[in-house]
Amino acid sequence: MQESKHKWIRFCGEVLILVALFTAVQYAITAGLLNMYYQINLTSMCINIILAVSLNLINGFTGQLSLGHAGFMAVGAYSAVIMTQFLGQPFAIGIIAACVAAAIAGFIIGVPTLRLKGDYLAIATLAFGEIIRVVLMNIDYVNGPAGVVGISKLTTWPVLYWSMIITILVVVNLINSSYGRAIVSVREDEVAAELMGINTTRYKVIAFVIGAMFAGLAGALYAHFFYIIKPETFNFLKSFDILVMVVLGGLGSTTGAIIAAIFITALTAALQSFPAIRMILYALILIIVMIYRPQGLMGNKEFSRETFNRIWGGRK
Partner 1 sequence: MILLEIKKLNKSFGGLSAVLDFDFYLKPKELVGLIGPNGAGKTTVFNLITGVYKPDSGSIIFNGREIAGLAPYNICARGIARTFQNIRLFNDLTVLDNVKIAAHKNVPYGFLSTIFRTPGFFSGEKQIEQDALRFLEIFKLENKKHELAKNLPYGEQRRLEIARAMATQPTLLILDEPAAGMNPQETRELMMLIEQIREEFNLTILLIEHDMSLVMGVCERIYVLDYGQIIAEGLPEEIRNNKEVIEAYLGEEVV
Partner 2 sequence: MATGEALLQLPFTVNKGEVAIMLEFVQQLVNGLSLGAIYALIALGYTMVYGIIMLINFAHGDIMMVGAFVGFYSITLLGTNIVMAMIFAMIACAVLGVVIEKVAYRPLRGSTRIAALITAIGMSLFLEYMTIFLLGPQQKVFPHSAFPLKEYNAMGLLITNKDIFIIVSAVVLMIILQYIIKMTKTGKAMRAVSVDREAAVLMGISVDKTISITFAIGSALAAAAGVMVGVYYNTINPLMGIIPGLKAFVAAVLGGIGIVPGAMVGGFVMGILETFVSGYGSSLYRDAVAFGVLILILLIKPTGLFGKDTGEKV
Interface of this chain with partner 1, residues 146 to 175, rule: CB under 8 A:
170, 173-174
198 binds, among partner 1, partner 2, none (CB under 5 to 8 A by kind): partner 1
Only one of the segments 19-27, 75-83, 218-226, 271-279 lies at the binding site for partner 2 (rule: CB under 8 A); that segment is 271-279
76 binds, among partner 2, partner 1, none (CB under 5 to 8 A by kind): none
CB 51 within 8 A of CB 212: no
Please name which of 62, 35, 4, 55 lies closest in space to residue 193, comparing C-alpha atoms: 62
Among 195, 228, 270, 283, binds partner 1 (CB under 8 A): 195
- Complex with partner 2: residue 94 or 250, whichever CB lies closer: 250
Regarding 189 and contact with partner 1 (CB under 8 A), the answer is yes
3 class by beta-carbon count within 10 Å (0-12 exposed, 13-18 middle, 19+ buried): exposed
Min. distance of Cβ 284 from partner 1 in angstroms? 27
Cα distances (angstroms) measured from residue 45 to each of 130, 144, 161, 265, 303: 24, 28, 10, 6, 19
CB 74 within 8 A of CB 234: yes
CB 130 within 8 A of CB 239: no
CB 183 within 8 A of CB 202: no
Interface of this chain with partner 2, residues 52 to 91, rule: CB under 8 A:
63, 65
280 binds, among partner 1, partner 2, none (CB under 5 to 8 A by kind): partner 2
Only one of the segments 1-9, 79-87, 129-137, 259-267 lies at the binding site for partner 2 (rule: CB under 8 A); that segment is 129-137
276 binds, among partner 2, partner 1, none (CB under 5 to 8 A by kind): partner 2
24 binds, among partner 2, partner 1, none (CB under 5 to 8 A by kind): none
33 binds, among partner 2, partner 1, none (CB under 5 to 8 A by kind): none
CA–CA dist 63, 251 (Å, integer): 8
179 binds, among partner 2, partner 1, none (CB under 5 to 8 A by kind): partner 1
170 binds, among partner 1, partner 2, none (CB under 5 to 8 A by kind): partner 1
Regarding 267 and contact with partner 2 (CB under 8 A), the answer is no
Regarding 108 and contact with partner 2 (CB under 8 A), the answer is no
Q: Give Cβ neighbours of residue 216 (< 8 Å, ≥ 6 apart).
A: 72, 73, 75, 76, 77, 79, 98, 99, 100, 101, 102, 103, 105
Regarding 205 and contact with partner 2 (CB under 8 A), the answer is no
Min. distance of Cβ 77 from partner 1 in angstroms? 25
Min. distance of Cβ 71 from partner 2 in angstroms? 11
Q: Give Cβ neighbours of residue 39 (< 8 Å, ≥ 6 apart).
A: 29
- What is the binding site for partner 2 (CB under 8 A)? 63, 65, 112-113, 115-116, 118-120, 122-124, 127-128, 130-131, 134-135, 137-138, 191, 240, 243, 247, 276-277, 279-280, 282-287, 290-291, 294
Which positions touch partner 1 (CB under 8 A)?
170, 173-174, 177-182, 184-185, 188-189, 191-200, 300
